[in-house]
Amino acid sequence: MSPIMADLKALPPLEQSTAFAALQTHFESIESLHLRELFAQDSERASKFSAEAAGIYLDYSKNRINETTRQLLLKLAEERGVREAIDAMFSGAQLNLTEGRAVLHTALRANSDETILVDGKNVVDDVHEVLRRMGDFTDRVRSGEHRGFSGKKITTVVNIGIGGSDLGPLMAYEALKSRSDRDIQLRFVSNVDGTDFAEATRDIDIESTLFVICSKTFTTLETLANARLARALVLAKFGEEKSIAAHFVAVSTNQEQVEEFGIDPANMFGFWDWVGGRYSYDSAIGLSLMIAIGRDGFSEMLQGFRSMDQHFRSAPFAENLPVLMALLGIWYNNFFGAESVAVLPYDQSLHRFAAYLQQLDMESNGKSVTRQGESVGVQTGPIIWGEPGTNGQHAFYQLIHQGTKLIPCDFIGFCQSENPLETEGQSMHDLLMANYFAQTEALAFGKTEEEVKAEGTREDLVAHRVFPGNRPTNSLLMDRLTPATLGALVALYEHKVFVQGIIWNVNSFDQWGVELGKVLAKRIIPELSAGSFPGGHDSSTDSLISRYRQHRGLE
């Protein structure tokens, strides 16, 4: 075994572990039990199955578990070495063994007096140095000290990046928009589809626009293509290479490529290879967000991340929010055969949260081999999807309530609204949250045939109007959506994904699955331009390319 792999407990296949076998036996006895019975048996159930940390209250009582389930799941976490893995991650062990890297996004929010060594160097000092530079730059942009080439104040920031260099800042900007400087608008360009760039830039005033080029590697095709378009716009406007310095900054780990692109390293904000792209929006990748919410807002967000980190690191598993949510996920994924998880924020400003979690979870745990390269043998990462409530209620909740699939849901809501409007004396927020509470109640308890009949329902409609219930939900309730609660919420999901990855024994920190498509696309790019097309793919791909070429007038 390599020294890297020695960082974690040697694990037998999951289905051979003692706790997993015990859970399998237990599952057979509890599978048919209804949440109606579980609640009827115990009036204290809600308080027994809830936990709170870092401003997040988690009620997980509407899950198909009893005390034995909880104990067995907690045993599974212990048996799979979750405690040791947490310690290893926080101390900088090279858990990302296929890329030979530490996994230290938690260092991005460490207090300045902490010490975390990577190759003998305290990385916390570097983190705080970059944060200070970001803060100073942010202040200069917001105050108008940093201006465009022609002297105009910056009023538009266009973030160009993709995947981990886009989804985090975008999600967080949308979430915290109510706290942003409204004199500065953020735009995001990610897709290599020209429409994305064209729409984001069609009405901007280049003289007052700052482009933030975010790319960990600075080699990503989509980002570089969009960055070149932006560069051309700026040069077309001013006709001088010198204008680039006023209108471009880069966020990257790759100084050489940044310089080659023509951005002065003085305008570059760095981060490190021990930060995974999808774990990076609290690094310099969050620069555009910091410009929007200010350095204090950003620091408040880091404080929220930190509170959840501390909780995750120190709380006993029975009270540990990320561990509990991870175990509940495993319960449905590996025993009930659930294929997906719906994430349902009752807050419009979290409308990109499910998309953000899709990458965080699916790119991390969408794996089928173990850390040692053997077949995992069990189901791993679920499909993550969702939309804000109440919109989802008028679209896909039907399937969650009465469909044939079991879809565990995370409901996310806040006690205070950032926009506390009233309509004829009625709080809009109460209308919203009444729906949150009602949905979790309906999903858990449903409506029986007797209840439907008792309402005088026509005989032929009874079956259609029955709600089976017993549909599990987690309820996450927070006071309000602040930078700190957002940070804590994101860290909760980051650590949940980590715990599941450890239990399945997969490497949650690589993403080899995105490589093949990139390589094939590179081969195809020249085949879509003038010149003869030799074919040589399979018959389907060849004919699709030929048809495309015909329609483009090339054949």
Rounded to 5 degrees, what angle do the CA atoms 439, 445, 450 make?
Answer: 125
Nearer to ligand G6Q, 17 or 511 (CB): 511
Task: Report which residue's Cβ sits closest to ligand G6Q.
Answer: 163
Q: Which of 48, 121, 464, 518 is catalytic?
A: 518
Task: Please give the Cα distance from 505 to 492 (Å, whole number).
Answer: 20
Nearer to ligand G6Q, 209 or 358 (CB): 358
Burial group, residue 366, by CB count within 10 angstroms (0-12, 13-18, 19+)? middle
Least Å distance, CB 171 to ligand G6Q, is: 13
Strand partners, 122: 117
Helix (H, G, I), strand (E, B) or coil at 294: helix
Least Å distance, CB 542 to ligand G6Q, is: 28
Nearer to ligand G6Q, 384 or 481 (CB): 384
Least Å distance, CB 19 to ligand G6Q, is: 30
Least Å distance, CB 286 to ligand G6Q, is: 13
Which residues are at the interface with ligand G6Q (CB under 6 A)? 162-165, 215-217, 220, 223, 276-278, 363, 511
Tell me phi and psi for residue 12, to 5 degrees. Answer: -75, 165
The DSSP line for 35-66 is HHHHHHH-TTHHHHTEEEETTEEEE-TTSS--
Nearer to ligand G6Q, 13 or 366 (CB): 366
Least Å distance, CB 204 to ligand G6Q, is: 23
Query: Does the active-site annotation cover 259?
Result: no
Nearer to ligand G6Q, 35 or 227 (CB): 227
Least Å distance, CB 500 to ligand G6Q, is: 16
Angle between helices 287-314 and 82-90 (to 10 degrees): 140
Least Å distance, CB 367 to ligand G6Q, is: 13
Q: What is the dihedral of CA 255, 184, 349, 424, to 10 degrees?
A: 180
What is the enclosing helix (H) or strand (E) of 344?
strand 340-345
CA-closest candidate to residue 233, choices 160, 174, 170, 335 = 160
Least Å distance, CB 168 to ligand G6Q, is: 9
Task: Please give the Cα distance from 96 to 93 (Å, whole number).
Answer: 9
Query: Does the active-site annotation cover 363?
Result: yes
Nearer to ligand G6Q, 215 or 482 (CB): 215
Q: Which of 394, 424, 515, 551 is catalytic?
A: 394
Helix (H, G, I), strand (E, B) or coil at 315: coil
CB 363 within 8 A of CB 511: yes
Nearer to ligand G6Q, 439 or 511 (CB): 511
Could you give the C-alpha distances from 189 to 152, 159, 204, 225, in angstroms and in order?
23, 6, 13, 11
Question: β-pairing, 340-345 with 383-385?
Answer: parallel
CB atoms inside a 10 Å sphere around CB 95: 24
Least Å distance, CB 74 to ligand G6Q, is: 30
Q: Which of 363, 387, 494, 527 is catalytic?
A: 363
CB 249 within 8 A of CB 210: yes
Nearer to ligand G6Q, 66 or 220 (CB): 220
Burial group, residue 369, by CB count within 10 angstroms (0-12, 13-18, 19+)? middle
Rounded to 5 degrees, what angle do the CA atoms 472, 363, 399 make?
Answer: 30
Task: Please give the Cα distance from 269 to 271 (Å, whole number).
Answer: 7
Nearer to ligand G6Q, 252 or 473 (CB): 252
Least Å distance, CB 398 to ligand G6Q, is: 33
Nearer to ligand G6Q, 276 or 345 (CB): 276
Task: Please give the Cα distance from 108 to 438 (Å, whole number).
Answer: 39
Tell me phi and psi for residue 101, to 5 degrees. Answer: -130, 150
CA-closest candidate to residue 481, choices 390, 537, 419 = 419
Query: Does the active-site annotation cover 240?
Result: no
> Where in the sequence numbering do the catalytic residues fall?
363, 394, 518
